[in-house]
Structure 1
Amino acid sequence: MIRAYQLSELAAELGGRLNGQNLSVSGISIDSRSVQSGELFIAIKGPNFDGHAYVDKAIESGAAAVLVQEQPVNPDSFSYILVDDTSEALGQLGAFNRHQTDIPFLAITGSCGKTSVKEMLAAILDQEGSTLATHGNLNNAFGVPLTLFSVEAGNQFAVIELGTSSPGEIGYISELTRPDVSVITNAAETHLDGLVDVAGVAQEKGFILDSLSPSGTAILNLDDDFFNDWQQRTLSGSEQRRVRSFSLNNSQADSYGSDIETTTEGMRFTLNLNGQKRTLRIAFWGQHQVQNACCAAVAASAAGIGLDKIVQGLENARPYQRRGQRFALDDRTLVIDETYNANPKATLAAVDQLAECEGHRIMVLGDMLDLGAVSQQRHHDVGAYARDRGIETFIALGDASRQAVSAYGRDGRHFETKASLVSGLRSLLSELDVPAVTVLVKGSRGMGMLDIVRSLVGSDYKGER
């Protein structure tokens, strides 16, 4: 946080009532298992959990005080702030700390690539000065306020990832963040149970533009069908705003790639940015990651970073948790972990990534969840695309993925359980008499496809960097 806050100051900001000593707090936490000494523990109450049950544990762990919406059982044994709604108060605290500083805030949303862009952008900005970036997946209505409250006085930039699982969430957390640079990577078929179709997704992602500062810059994907809609939405909010564009290879964009090559060490390409060119290599694979790099580059440029530092940062960046990590099992077998999550657009990009690999290529697919009425067709599309891209073996898990196996053809294999899939995959690997094999594992987070990767690379692998 920017500075130490007194409980009385926070209570006044929240419209709450302080009971007990007016202590200072060193941070905030919503998890009694990880709360640190001197922090304010916030008892979040939801439909399936209630942080009020862990107030005593938080105090025992060293919390300076607690923030509650229910009167504590032992009100005289510790300091607490009583408010009407602790979830709302959490958001208010994040916004309060954010507005204590005037450093540039860069916010990123999108259906695919937002975490990779966040990692790339943070690596670039670190070349210029201390950068606070969203840790892990703290990108929702709880995680964003926690991230905003963690911004410190020594930070020179903040990179905030914004995600959604329901309509209105992007609007809420964008309003808390109030970005100076708003980035939309793309809109694709995700969270369709709540957002209905890709137009609904684009509308939801666009809320990041509504909260953009009056003189801010929007970074938009020229390759996306909703570019014009987003551009109009940006400029309608303020005549002082600017729009900068990125693309995989469209020379009309402010930032785009050319001379794109896949190498064993990552993607090599020429970055074309604001009329300047520079050839570089990134430790990410797939043409979609070149597009992500072009996105991060123009966003950094909008924050005032020069080309030399942009290139250096991009070359220093690394993939984050289960988003393309590669493991050599032996001299011939490579495993690619793409198991963090899956939607149709990202899965087709994974097929493209696999198609560029050497030797016998094996696609292992778990169901893509939350696709609503288009689920069967999109799984069919993936199987057909893998077949057309020449993937030699297609293996799947999950009811919806039966459609993918059917579309792939007679050499596709569907398994009922992870154990049977792992057994079948191991048998296949031992039987193949080829100089090189690449296995790519993809699926929605709810399918737990990380278990498949761990069965191959070792149980010590937890999905971290």
Structure 2
Amino acid sequence: MRIEDLYQCFLQCDSISTDTRKITPNSLFFALKGDNFDANEFAQEALNKGALFVVIDNKKYFTDENKMLLVQDTLKALQDLANYHRNQLGLPIISLTGSNGKTTTKELIKCVLSKKYNTHATFGNLNNHIGVPLTLLSFKEDTDIGIVEMGANHQKEIEMLCEIAQPDYGYITNFGKAHLEGFGGIDGVIKGKSEMYDYLQENGRTVFVNLDDTIQEQKTSKLDRYTFSTDSSKNPNITIKSIEASPFVTINFNETTIKSNLIGIYNANNINAAVTIGKYFNISDNDIKKAIENYIPSNNRSQLIEKGTNKIILDAYNANPSSMSAALTNLRQLEGKKTAILGDMFELGNESLQEHKKLIESIINDTDIEFHFIGNDFYTSKIEKNNIHYYTDFNDFKERKVTSDIGNNTILIKGSRGMALERVLDII
């Protein structure tokens, strides 16, 4: 089937579906395949539930020539359709990647740009080879600016996503120790994430850069860039004059003070990027301030929750060595009694035990914090000390009723998504 013909069918639909359990009326259903499923089998079910058309790549299930669209590969058809739609709309697109802070930064940028433009962005964390096409296909004719978050855990993935989305602008939050297993170490992370820079440079596009990050500054020296820094001697486009976190992040630029609802100094650059991109797109200082101050974090990301006599910093959406270190640095700066409940960090490959051991070694002298490490990798890497405790898994932690003794504390809860440490809230 020609992409032009598929596009005409798409224009007749109200939405895209890839899961028959979530079919919406008048949708275009793509029968994708996975390791353990083939959605071609459910093509007729999708039509029965209200899909207007279904896209399939298995002739065996082609039973309705009016409603079934046969292609060679449904995933490629989805990606090609998204790229075609992106080019039909012709709107400016900002791409966003990095090891930590992508989703928070995306949400902040969306809030700022929405003060002046009809801005659409990646929903949740739909940032992979399926999520990016779905994001692009959600943009409408009245969309002024699109923001596309791009995630990756191996080489060439960002390159492929850029080819689909064809961004006009890009921002990389940071290079951290995340997905080391897929990237093959920190050098692989830098190379993989920098594929966005490669695309933008080859196509003469613009990057937003934190000049305080030496690696980012060096990698973008030959690109068209719009920059921010806390050091005015670097001649940034936007100078961030001060940053505080006690515990909420406050920054100052252009004599404007922004008091955010985000906890932790590690969130400062997420705010700084939103300020910088807002200024590039001519958002007023006052509107930038309002947008950022009205943003409330959710989905287990840097949330401050008061429960009984405790203040809880819930940052349990994900974790890697870089983000874990940043969260602990922030905890150290807070006053009063402090407890850290930390879960294993996933996708670190052969470096996993080494990275868990390094993190324990980094906190060994923190005598004013009570540490509870949950998970097999932390347990295997343990170093004994009175204020450091280890548990093989969440059930082990729960059964020991540790939280019954915690009161009048600031509690940091952080771990990889698979640890689901938000469950700690139920037992405090």
Query: Structure 2-normalised TM-score?
Result: 0.91
The reply to whether residue 431 of structure 1 matches residue 405 of structure 2 is yes
Greater displacement, 107-116 / 28-37: 28-37
Residue type matched to 2:87 in 1?
A: H
Residue 193 of structure 1: how far off its partner (Å): 1.4
The reply to whether residue 420 of structure 1 matches residue 421 of structure 2 is no
What is the SS of the residue equivalent to 2:251?
strand
Residue 215 of structure 1: how far off its partner (Å): 4.7
**How far does the alpha carbon of each residue in 1:398-452 deviate from its partner, in whole angstroms, 9 at most, with x for none?**
122136641x73321111231231243x44x4435x6x20111111112222322
Residue type matched to 2:228 in 1?
A: F
Name the counterpart of 2:2.
Answer: 12
Which residues in structure 2 correspond to 1:42-441 (within 5 Å)? 42-73=30-61, 75-76=63-64, 79-212=67-200, 214-232=203-221, 235=223, 242-247=224-229, 249-251=230-232, 252=234, 253-263=236-246, 266-271=248-253, 276-330=254-308, 332-402=309-379, 405-406=382-383, 409-424=385-400, 426-427=401-402, 429-431=403-405, 436-441=408-413
Which residues in structure 2 correspond to 1:3-42 (within 5 Å)? 11-13=1-3, 24-42=12-30
Change (3 A) 1:377 1:335: same
Residue 258 of structure 1: how far off its partner (Å): 3.7
Residue 246 of structure 1: how far off its partner (Å): 3.1
Change (3 A) 1:299 1:405: farther
Change (3 A) 1:187 1:451: same
Residue type matched to 1:261 in 2?
A: E
Aligned partners of 2:99 and 2:177 also within 8 Å: yes
Q: Which runs of 5+ in 1 are unaligned?
A: 1-10, 236-241, 457-465
What is the percent sequence identity of the aligned residues?
A: 29
CA distance in structure 2 between the partners assigned to 1:141 and 1:14 by the alignment: 21
CA distance in structure 2 between the partners assigned to 1:38 and 1:82 by the alignment: 18
RMSD: 2.5
Aligned partners of 1:217 and 1:302 also within 8 Å: no
Residue 121 of structure 1: how far off its partner (Å): 0.2
Name the counterpart of 2:422.
Answer: 450
Residue type matched to 1:409 in 2?
A: K
CA distance in structure 2 between the partners assigned to 1:419 and 1:359 by the alignment: 28
Residue 305 of structure 1: how far off its partner (Å): 2.6
Residue 389 of structure 1: how far off its partner (Å): 4.7
Aligned length: 425
Residue type matched to 2:178 in 1?
A: T
**How far does the alpha carbon of each residue in 1:274-312 deviate from its partner, in whole angstroms, 9 at most, with x for none?**
xx3311101101111111111121122233333232222
Aligned partners of 2:7 and 2:81 also within 8 Å: no
Residue 205 of structure 1: how far off its partner (Å): 0.9
Residue type matched to 2:362 in 1?
A: Y
Residue 40 of structure 1: how far off its partner (Å): 0.9
Residue type matched to 1:53 in 2?
A: E
Residue type matched to 2:197 in 1?
A: L
Name the counterpart of 1:3.
Answer: none
What is the SS of the residue equivalent to 1:132?
strand
CA distance in structure 2 between the partners assigned to 1:452 and 1:279 by the alignment: 35
What is the SS of the residue equivalent to 1:117?
helix
What is the SS of the residue equivalent to 2:244?
strand
Aligned partners of 1:367 and 1:398 also within 8 Å: yes
Q: Which runs of 5+ in 2 are unaligned?
A: none
CA distance in structure 1 between the partners assigned to 2:160 and 2:5 by the alignment: 20
Residue type matched to 1:284 in 2?
A: L
Aligned partners of 2:62 and 2:68 also within 8 Å: no
What is the SS of the residue equivalent to 2:200?
coil
**How far does the alpha carbon of each residue in 1:36-72 deviate from its partner, in whole angstroms, 9 at most, with x for none?**
1111100011222211122122112100011011015
Greater displacement, 40-49 / 295-304: 295-304
Residue 270 of structure 1: how far off its partner (Å): 1.2
Change (3 A) 1:81 1:167: same
Residue type matched to 1:321 in 2?
A: N
Query: Structure 1-normalised TM-score?
Result: 0.85
CA distance in structure 1 between the partners assigned to 2:239 and 2:367 by the alignment: 28
CA distance in structure 1 between the partners assigned to 2:149 and 2:187 by the alignment: 21
**How far does the alpha carbon of each residue in 1:189-232 deviate from its partner, in whole angstroms, 9 at most, with x for none?**
11111211212111111121233384532012323342244214
Residue type matched to 2:425 in 1?
A: V
Residue type matched to 1:83 in 2?
A: V
Residue type matched to 2:76 in 1?
A: E
